[in-house]
Amino acid sequence: MNIRTNKISDIRQYYLKELSEIYQPQESAVFLDMLFEEFLGLSRTGRVLNPDKRATESEILKIHFAVKDLKRQRPIQYILKKTDFYGLPFFVDENVLIPRPETEELVEWIIRETAGAEPSINILDIGTGSGCIAVSLKLNLTSTDVWAMDISQEVLAVAKKNALSNHAEIHLLKHDIFSNSLPQNIPQFDLIVSNPPYVRNSEKQQMQKNVLNYEPALALFVPDEDPLKFYLAISEFSLNHLKPGGSLYLEINEAIATETAHLLESVRFSEIVIKKDIHDRDRMIKAVNR
């Protein structure tokens, strides 16, 4: 490190130059503000008002190693072990996907359509990951009983951590959606939601390295020859565990939205609605169990 002094202004100038090798200036500035807030407890305003404030050697080292990770294109959410989703803080690590804005739109759709429904309903989140969907629904639909399902015990540990930190009482269930066996004590559900893997292997070339190199591939990708495998498994599961008239909400791949709708129709779902996200892409679908 050849930082001129340990003043905040000098540290920032040095690492902006380091990050400029990979990122645009505005993105580099945002990353550094996040690191200063995390490791120095210094907001952007505090940094601007106190350019001569000095950092300790320990604080500079934390920033240094975080910048090294950023230069390897490791997502900043994994570096800081946290992100925000639907106005709530969530712990994330490489066991789980980083929640996306379109998933917030899915949650918003469910809340808007479900608020004011029966006093108490049962909701299941299949492939819960960080638990962002399950926790957000529980805290915004307080009379619901929410279950969060995933195949991985490590993933469920992350979901449990987020449920506890956000004071959301949810039930955790370890289960493989492709398995026929299921614990007998789970209820019939009024609503099932899932954000399953849906990115085709052939679409990898369109994705950024920070996603490809760090986010869990099992939660992202499906084979080109069977891109709807998870949707078929989820829909067949839902036929058995969703009450008549119950709703199924799914995040989908815009490139095969019509095929997803046809699949749901073929397995006896009705009232199918494809919904666009704020970028006018077909990214969500709802269906009703007949």
Query: How far is the C-alpha of 134 from the C-alpha of 121, rounded, in Å?
Result: 13
pLDDT of residue 118: 66
* Spatial strand order in the sheet of 171-174: 171-174, 145-150, 122-126, 189-194, 242-251, 282-289, 269-276
pLDDT in tens, 218-234: 999 999 999 999 999 99
- Bridge-based pairing of strands 269-276 and 282-289 is antiparallel
Q: Which residues pair with 145 in a beta bridge?
A: 122
Mean pLDDT by 10-residue block, N- to C-terminus, for the chain (290 residues)? 89 95 95 96 91 93 97 97 98 97 97 82 97 97 94 97 98 92 83 97 91 94 96 95 96 97 96 97 96
Q: Is residue 20 helix, strand or coil?
A: coil
Q: Is the CA virtual torsion 44, 48, 49, 51 positive or negative?
A: positive
Q: Are 11 and 42 in contact (CB under 8 A)?
A: no
pLDDT of residue 5: 93
Q: Is the CA virtual torsion 213, 218, 222, 223 positive or negative?
A: positive
Quote the distance between the C-alpha of residue 199 and its chain's center. 15
